[in-house]
Amino acid sequence: EDEDEDEDEDDEAYDDEDGARAAAAREEEDFSDGQDPMEESDDDMRGRDRADDRYDEFDSDAGESLDGDDDSPEPELEDMNRCRIPRRFLESKMEEPYLEEAVKGSFVKLLVGQHEGAPVYRMCKIAAVQEYHKTYRVMTNIPTNLGLLLKFGKSEKLEKIDKISNHRFTVDELNRWKRQMQDDRERMITPKECADRLQATKKAQQHKYTPAEIAEMVKKRQFAATQTGRRNIASAKFKIKNEIQAARDEVEDARDKEEQADGDYEKQEDAREHREKCEKFLRMKEREFEKILEHEQDRKKVVKKKDKFKAINDRNNLRNIANDTVTGAQNQKAELEGDPSADQTLNPYARLKSDSAALWKTG
């Protein structure tokens, strides 16, 4: 056994000696090329600089993660659905002054397209409520120019409210959002923040209105009613006629004051400016009255068209009732008389007897 141990030690020493000789040979080759093995090559220095730059970028862009926020729990599906805003909520609160306060920071289910005939959704965060570049109608047929600035990772885009879904988030949508947040090195919302976001939405709905906010809401609802046909046209015409008459009287008074101020430059200029304002207000009311008249004509056309189809439908219904009554009477009469061919005659799927005619011969 002592001899075997001595042989093993000799083998290990031989292996160490061979390794040392190989390392010395590599060093001699490096020196023969004129490059010190302890010095970095140009390629090594560039690679190290790129690595340092990537680390600095990660440190600056995702410093929160480096500070230990990775230990915070990730939200589950139930947490995300707790702070989800459905489309019906947005449609019912479009005219409210607290809309942005109620939804900012919450999440929505956005329709982004289709794949193999199935709709594709993304779970997005509401960054702000902004004005859309054009007016459009939501599912409740109410016109609006509001849009949602949505975030998916680092990407931001202004979307229309009618692209938001009422359905709850799915596991696939949650996992897709988490992957995007990790790829973009963005911080995820925590379960506690989801619960806080829900309470903030409820608290925002306890808003106390100011007189200016009430006046603005009434104005928006009147505009929406005019656009959708829900406004009483007769009362609107009566009101606008009175306003036009009052504006005309105001213009006449302004003209009289302008004539009376003849000779006094300052009074004449003030009277002229007042007259121009009154005339501008009058033209605005006259244009509004013209729009109401156009809307009235459009409504009459729609009603007339509906009446036309109603008459056609009523006529067809009466004809069907008459045919059913006559057919039923004939069937009952045939049964009473014992006619065996009654069922075949009244059966639309029965084979009917016919005299076939040969139009040509072959062979």
Retrieve residue 353's tokens.
């007897």
Q: What is the pLDDT of residue 225?
A: 62
Let me know: does 267 contact 256? Beta carbons within 8 Å: no
What pLDDT is recorded for position 313? Answer: 73
Helix 265-337 and helix 211-228: axis angle, to 10°?
Answer: 50
Give, in degrees to the nearest 5, the angle at Cα 314 between 308 and 316: 105
Nearest CA to 217 out of 99, 101, 97, 132 is that of 97
* Amino acid letter for position 340: P
What's the CA angle centered on 93, arms 89 and 96, to 5 degrees? 160
Cα 240 to Cα 264: distance, rounded to the nearest angstrom:
36
**Using a CB cutoff of 8 Å and minimum separation of 24, what contacts does 328-336 make?**
none
User: Left if phi > 0, otherwise alpha if psi is -120 to 50, otherwise beta: which for 141?
Assistant: left
pLDDT given for residue 326 in this prediction: 66
d(CA 29, CA 117): 65
Q: Which residues of 17-50 are buried (b: 16+ CB within 10 A; e: fewer)?
A: eeeeeeeeeeeeeeeeeeeeeeeeeeeeeeeeee
**Pair type for strands 155-160 and 118-137:** unpaired
Tell me how far apart the alpha carbons of residues 327 and 100 are, in angstroms, rounded to a whole number: 65
pLDDT at residue number 13 = 43
Token pair 């189809």 is found at: 309
Smallest CA-to-CA distance from 311 within 301, 321, 303 is with 303
CB 80, CB 174: distance < 8 Å: yes
- The distance in angstroms from the start CA to the end CA of the chain is 113
Would you give per-residue pLDDT tens digits along the chain (363 residues)? 444 444 444 444 444 445 545 444 444 444 334 444 334 444 444 444 444 443 344 333 433 433 444 567 899 999 999 999 999 999 999 888 899 999 999 999 999 988 888 899 999 999 999 999 888 888 877 788 899 999 999 999 999 999 999 999 999 999 999 999 999 999 999 999 999 999 999 999 998 888 888 888 877 776 666 555 555 677 778 888 888 888 888 888 888 888 887 777 788 888 888 888 888 888 888 888 888 888 777 777 766 665 666 777 777 777 777 776 766 666 666 655 655 554 445 566 666 677 777 667 665
**Cα 7 from chain centre:** 80
pLDDT at 106: 95
Question: Can you tell me the distance from the alpha carbon of 105 to that of 187, in angstroms, rounded to the nearest whole number?
Answer: 13
H helices present in the chain, as ranges? 2-32, 42-61, 63-66, 77-82, 87-92, 99-103, 171-183, 191-204, 211-228, 233-260, 265-337, 342-346
